[in-house]
Structure 1
């Protein structure tokens, strides 16, 4: 029994000694610092480089297998040759502060053949926000002037609603006054520049008024108008305006809702399976007016011209059935297809219905 215990103790000592010897022979990485403070740096001051020095304190060559950063704004490079025992190496980290104002906290992960691994290096600091330039304030160039936006969205509007918006404008020419006018303005949009003549360096506003009561349309509507500068028109300079016009059903009483129309489709998706390019497929989406007054199809619009729509009628009496006929033309199409047809009605419970046409064109 005593001999067994002595043997066990001896084996334990041999294993411990071997492990200690192996640890002594293995590579060991030691950094002079694992966290570096960049301090206060300017956003437009250019890239900042930090060098993390390390040394191999082990008895075997040290290999840097990989170095990764927590974001693309920090680019690390490192010594790719084996670092011999007692020798030093470097990991360089380049931080780009542009468009990253505020506190800095970035991590660099270092993978090696040493144990333990990985090693985490940290960059901290603060990026001081740069002063906005003319291009920052007015990113859209329209010849001699710049705008803060080239598209105005009025989001959702009721049929009788009027909304206003504005676009900031500045004359960036050095010595030329610019008179601003617009052409091809829809009758439901009023546009006026104040002042109409901008002196060099002068800022102004473009006031836009949208009168939905004058629009003979429903749903999403995109309009555009072209800017005229000192009598000259550049058709590349287009100011676009969008809106979604819909009914305001929130003011309906319970009694009015009870007497309202409603639209119910048997199904809203048509899968035509797989067809050859150039083939046409047709389908009908049946529906019924389950309400108590006339249902009006105010707008039926496909997501692309390859889908023809043929409503049987636009006014459907209570209890009456009808359908939306579609024809999908696969000419010029290939692969998986997903098309839609948007139905806008006067039914408060289903004012907008989306029909889907899906399939594959070989």
Structure 2
């Protein structure tokens, strides 16, 4: 009896092994390919992955799933007989994909496992872009890379500088000058005269010492190629001007003003279009020194009256009134009012006025 059990024990693994080897088996000569470095202007790169059916039944590749930038341009559609060979051809398009890449391709078939992963890697050397691509906006024959220059956060008393690249598309020398430049902004051209097909730089300096403003500030400067006034010839320059509280001592912070509103948001419910919504926001200086309201700015469609006082003594209460004219609006509306003060903990505070406007 023990001999019979032992014999059956030998037969079971063999049966399992035979079951595993039955049917189609998809085996690739290689499962990865490194293209190395390829040039973007060289066009698409392709590689063939050779597959062999090492099983005992026909192998059918049902589909090939690729990732971004990668396509399966061809694979063997006919059943691959046992010991037969097939091809999966993978193509990678480097257009507008500079730098390193690593992509996976999954080949599905009637073999187990149903999906087998292939990988391709490489590095795309970007092509040199044409002036037409780099300087899409034109002012006359002057190409400009960017028409908006953002300085983001600029502290009071600080001067910052940035630049914009330009290109002379004409066949003649070009003088580039600037008009309507505010006093806190200086703009210059380097070189002062552009040769034909030459690249230059507009240098912009922003000096907060020369402006009495706070928060988000937007200015526009005219660009004048050869002193000619072309349509759409402005560049916009923005900055978010903030007070520098970083140098305050612990004692100064403890004695600083504090702005506290009774409420920072108001829902006016549902009103008919054309109704004027008004709401008073009440605040108190809970700090230990004078609270100075630097600036109040409302979003589109909303206006805000100046507060009762611009300097609020410690413990004193004040208010400001927001007004929203609903004519021309419908649906859910949300308006904001930004209050800028000398409170070091919250120098910029946003109030909300929201509700629903029923269209007439």
Question: TM class by shorter-chain length?
Answer: 0.7 to 0.9
* More displaced stretch, 220-229 vs 287-296: 287-296
- Secondary structure at the residue paired with 2:246? helix
SS in 2 for 1:249: coil
Give the whole-Å Cα distance in 1 for the aligned partners of 2:151 and 2:46. Answer: 46
Q: Report whether the alignment pairs 1:119 with 2:116.
A: yes
Match of 1:50 among 47, 50, 60: 47
Indicate the larger mover: 140-149 or 128-137: 128-137
Q: For the structure 1 residues 233 and 92, does the alpha-carbon distance in structure 2 shift closer, same or farther, using more than 3 Å as the test?
A: farther
Structure 2: stretches of 5+ with no match in the other structure: none
Give 1:336 deviation, angstroms.
5.2
Relative to 1, partners in 2 of residues 1:359 and 1:79: Cα closer, same or farther, differing over 3 Å? farther
* Mapped pair 1:194 → 2:190: yes
For 1:113 and 1:276, how far apart are their aligned partners in 2?
65
Instruction: Give 2:287's match in structure 1, choosing from 282, 285, 291.
Output: 291
Aligned residues: 356
Deviation readout 1:302-354 (Å, 9 max, x if unpaired):
2x322332344233232122233334455555565544321101222221112
Do 1:67 and 1:77's aligned partners in 2 also have CA atoms closer than 8 Å? no
Distance in 1 (alpha carbons) for counterparts of 2:120 and 2:7 = 48
Task: State the alpha-carbon separation in 2 of the partners of residues 102 and 79 from structure 1.
Answer: 28
Larger mean Cα displacement after TM superposition, 220-229 or 48-57: 48-57
* 2:233 corresponds to 1:234: no
Which residue of 287, 303, 306 maps to 1:308? Answer: 303
CA distance, structure 1, for counterparts of residue 270 and residue 4 of structure 2: 80
Q: Structure 2 vs 1, CA of residues 141 and 49 (structure 1 numbering), >3 Å: closer, same or farther?
A: farther
Distance across 2 between alignment mates of 1:88 and 1:330: 73
The aligned runs of 1:194-233 (5 Å cut-off) are 194-233=190-229
Q: 2: CA distance between counterparts of 1:283 and 1:64?
A: 69
| 1:120 CA displacement | 1.6
User: Is the partner of 1:292 in helix, strand or coil?
Assistant: coil
The one of 260, 263, 266 aligned to 2:259: 263
Tell me which of 349, 352, 355 is aligned to 2:345. 349
CA distance in 2, matches of 1:259, 1:126: 58
Q: Does 1:246 align with 2:242?
A: yes
Give the Cα separation in 2 of the matches to 1:203 and 1:145. Answer: 10
Using structure 1 for the length normalisation, give the TM-score: 0.82
Distance of 1:161 and 1:268 partners within structure 2: 31
Gap runs ≥5 in structure 1: none
Maintained 8 Å contact 1:83/1:89: no
Paired with 1:60 and 1:280, the residues of 2 have a C-alpha distance of 80
Q: Which residue of 2 aligns with 1:68?
A: 65
Mapping of 1:147-158 within 5 angstroms? 147-158=144-155
Q: Cα RMSD over matched residues?
A: 3.4
Asked whether the equivalents of residues 226 and 234 of structure 1 are also in contact (C-alpha less than 8 Å), the reply is no
Pick aligned residue for 2:142 from 113, 134, 145? 145
CA contact (8 A) 2:80 2:86 kept: no
Matched with 1:159 is 156
Query: 1:180–1:228: 8 Å Cα contact kept in structure 2?
Result: yes
Aligned mate of 2:104, from 98, 104, 107 = 107
| Cross-structure match for 1:83 | 79
Partner of 2:313 in structure 1? 317
State the shift of 1:263 in Å: 0.4
